[in-house]
Structure 1
Amino acid sequence: MDDQADLLDLDCFLPYRLAVIAARVSKAMSVLYAEKFGISIAEWRVIAHLAGSGRVSIRDIHARVNLDKVKVSRAVSRLEEAGLVLKASNAADNRLLDITLSDEGWSVYRQIVPLASGFEADLLSALDDTERAALERVFEKLHARLDENVEAARSLYPKV
């Protein structure tokens, strides 16, 4: 390809930049809990979601934590083996399992939260109050735009 104008500059491409920063943040934060508690990024996401949601299915976790169903299922299985989550039959639908944090899972969660909060505070300390407020507004606007355009995007960019 001779025409440089047709090339995508990944360093300036918003979806790429967001993916890279999200991966770097997750990886950096995982240092806080991986070594001490032996849990992965996916497992931490499951624990954090369960702490805020109570009894939920793997399908519910998958929809919320931005991980594919296989990763969620594996994370839940490893957490169950470690005694951090409990599985029970769903009373309304026997095909589903309800997942909850065990007492040990709650203990791990309560130990990680201050570490995670400190990590967040340290990361955000790179921004002043005005920048933090602007970042929050940008996130809200991007979420709103994505919500508005999901169906439009499906019609504009059909599966090939």
Structure 2
Amino acid sequence: MKRALSVTDPKFDLTKFLPYLLNQAAEASSLEFQRHYKGRYGMLRTEWRVLFHLGLYGRMTASDIGARAKMHKTKISRAVQRLAEQRFLTRTRDKGDRRVEHLELTAQGRKAYSDLSSVAARYDNALASQFTEQEMEILRRALLKLGAD
């Protein structure tokens, strides 16, 4: 069995540190998609993630999105505010609990979601084409395992 290196180990190599590699891969792989959601709609990363959750799951609360997307509530709150200002979503107070808002995409939001989801699917296919089917299956399984609670 291979010995695990610690950060204080003089042989520690940052370029092989898994969190570093994952971050580098995430940044590199998301830049092209960013051109679309930012260029076409002026959205930030958190905003397209909120938009996609509402597009996929329909009406949700910010807490629901936070739990699914693993995003901090203040980031979601800012994203919701901007998406509402741009008329991509509506906010409706819960009748039973005035502290809760239900979020839904507007027609404009659904159109943006439809457009960006087709771009995302094409982009995902382009990224996946760099790997064999077996490599993609292993990569997706490994990433899902790392992201599991």
The TM tier, using the shorter chain, reads 0.7 to 0.9
TM-score if structure 2 supplies the norm length? 0.85
More helix by share: 1
Query: How many equivalent residue pairs?
Result: 142
Q: Please identify runs of 4+ aligned residues in structure 1 that moved more than 6 A.
A: none
> How many angstroms apart in 2 are the aligned matches of 1:127 and 1:16?
21
The answer to whether 1:91 aligns with 2:89 is no
TM-score if structure 1 supplies the norm length? 0.79
Structure 1 stretch displaced more, 7-16 or 40-49: 7-16
Unmatched tracts of structure 2, length 5 or more: 1-7
The answer to whether 1:66 aligns with 2:70 is yes
CA RMSD of aligned residues (A): 1.9
Structure number with the bigger relative contact order (C-alpha 8 A, sep ≥ 6) is: 2
> How many angstroms apart in 2 are the aligned matches of 1:23 and 1:85?
27
> How many angstroms apart in 2 are the aligned matches of 1:11 and 1:125?
24
Q: 1:125-147: per-residue Cα shift (whole Å, max 9, x none)?
A: 0001121122233234434xx53
Amino acid at match of 1:53: Y
Identity in percent:
32
Select the residue among 24, 27, 33 that pairs with 1:29: 33
Contact persistence 1:85–1:101 (CA under 8 A): yes
Question: How far apart are 1:8 and its partner, in Å?
Answer: 3.9
Partner of 1:109: 113
Question: How far apart are 1:6 and its partner, in Å?
Answer: 4.5
> How many angstroms apart in 2 are the aligned matches of 1:69 and 1:140?
22
